[in-house]
Structure 1
Amino acid sequence: MKPVRIAAAFALLALLSACANQIEATTSDAAGVPGFWWGLWHGFVFPWAWIGSLFSPNIAVYAVPNSGGWYDFGFFLGITVLGGGSFFGSRSRKRE
């Protein structure tokens, strides 16, 4: 019975992945495309942008096109710094 469940899970995953859509022009070297600093800002405002994107199709949480790796790095730093990252989550509190 277990191989049937595994096969069904893979079939469901393949079906869901077939619905994925990718925008062709994701990176650009043109002047004015978002880079590291915009990525950092977009990472900081991600929670609010995500909530806004649920109600308005004009709000996006990620800039496309962007400069590529540096934008992604800034976005990652913005999200982890705002969320406290793993440093704050791993600290244990002293119980008194």
Structure 2
Amino acid sequence: MRIIPFEKAESWGLIQWAQPLIGVLFDASSDIYEYITNQIMDNHVLRLQFKLDRQLTGKRLSDDIDDVSEENINNLIEAAEVYINQPQVQAALQEFLRISH
């Protein structure tokens, strides 16, 4: 979720509000797909997801679909590696694999 400062958004018209509203709709559909998947897979699903902020690596991570810059791709890969190697994520993976067998 992106925070939009009031100073930036106070003069927005319909066009400028469309993009964040579409983002909210996509987030909702993601939750719906997760629910459906859990129902079909009898809750044998492990969702791995982290926020695209600077918390994992201190580097900028862009979720703009058209940001295919080498810097962004490398930062995303590095953040994914840091995320997957966190002890709590590794524990969740091990538990998921144990239950799935």
| TM-score category (smaller protein) | under 0.3
How high is the TM-score relative to the length of structure 2?
0.27
Normalising by structure 1, we get a TM-score of: 0.28
Structure with greater contact order relative to length (CA < 8 Å, sep ≥ 6): 1
